[in-house]
């Protein structure tokens, strides 16, 4: 595929349906649809509700959204700065090879620099060698010594049991 003429822009509420559909495509690609319980309304609230928790960029070819990146801020206590964390980056298979993935990551890197972030990071599945190669070609380092730690469902609820939390924090 030749270099793309797609536009990278901040997502708007009108993009929620397209982003949601691409999120499901990503779950299919990763063979994780059995874990996909997100809803379009939940996504729209997370992006544009009263307390947004994520932001998104979309890659638009003509008037069709063909890729997206979901991201949010985290914080590095060692650097003393916030960071930019990429939750998802996805470009439809028929649109790959034209620079959209690179353009999405370039826009996010520029945003991280503009917001004075100490780092820009994300995870990649260990079997996704094409993505690993792509990220390393961009100058990213895949950290071999770090593992993702996650609590969900009953394990999360069990750990949280009995703790009173303040609402609205």
Residues noted as catalytic = 135
Give the distance from CA 168 to its chain's centroid: 25
Rounded to whole angstroms, how far apart are CA atoms 34 and 59?
A: 27
CB 47 within 8 A of CB 16: yes
Please state, in angstroms and rounded to a whole number, the distance separating the CA atoms of residues 169 and 165. 9
Rounded Cα distance between 134 and 26, Å, is 17
User: Which residues partner with 64 through β-bridges?
Assistant: 61
């Amino acid at each position: 595929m030749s270099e793309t003429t797609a536009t990278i822009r901040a997502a708007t509420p009108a993009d929620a349906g397209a982003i949601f559909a691409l999120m499901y495509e990503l779950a299919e690609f990763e063979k994780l649809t059995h874990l996909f319980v997100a809803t379009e309304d939940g996504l729209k609230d997370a992006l544009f509700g009263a307390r947004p928790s994520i932001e998104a960029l979309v890659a638009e070819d003509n008037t069709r959204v063909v890729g997206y990146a979901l991201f949010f801020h985290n914080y590095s206590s060692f650097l003393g700065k916030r960071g930019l964390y990429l939750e998802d980056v996805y470009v439809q298979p028929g649109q790959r090879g034209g620079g959209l993935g690179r353009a999405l990551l370039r826009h996010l890197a520029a945003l991280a620099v503009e917001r004075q972030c100490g780092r820009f990071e994300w995870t990649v599945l260990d079997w996704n060698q094409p993505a690993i190669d792509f990220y390393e070609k961009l100058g990213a380092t895949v950290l071999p010594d770090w593992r993702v730690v996650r609590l969900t469902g009953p394990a999360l609820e069990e750990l949280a049991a009995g703790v009173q939390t303040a609402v609205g924090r």
